[in-house]
């Protein structure tokens, strides 16, 4: 359940990738950790 939600968020975030990185930086780190794990 959580995984699916994260996946959807990732897709939505990649669309808003042009937003200031400072805004989504914490989330970005979380996503990176999940991808690397």
- Tell me what the mean pLDDT of segment 8-36 comes to: 66
**What's the Cα-to-Cα distance from 20 to each of 1, 5, 8, 11, 14, rounded to whole Å?**
29, 23, 20, 17, 12
Maximal C-alpha separation, the chain? 29
Taking only the tens place, the pLDDT of each residue in 3-21 is 555 555 555 655 555 555 5
User: Token match 């950790």: residue?
Assistant: 33
Q: Which residue has the higher pLDDT, 36 or 9?
A: 36
Q: What was the pLDDT predicted at 8? A: 57
Q: What was the pLDDT predicted at 16? A: 55
> Global pTM?
0.32
Q: What was the pLDDT predicted at 33? A: 86
Q: What was the pLDDT predicted at 35? A: 83
Task: Decide: 34 and 6 in contact? Cβ < 8 Å.
Answer: yes
């Amino acid at each position: 359940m959580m995984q699916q939600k994260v996946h959807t968020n990732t897709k939505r975030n990649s669309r808003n990738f042009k937003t200031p990185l400072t805004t989504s930086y914490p989330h970005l780190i979380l996503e990176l950790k999940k991808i690397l794990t």
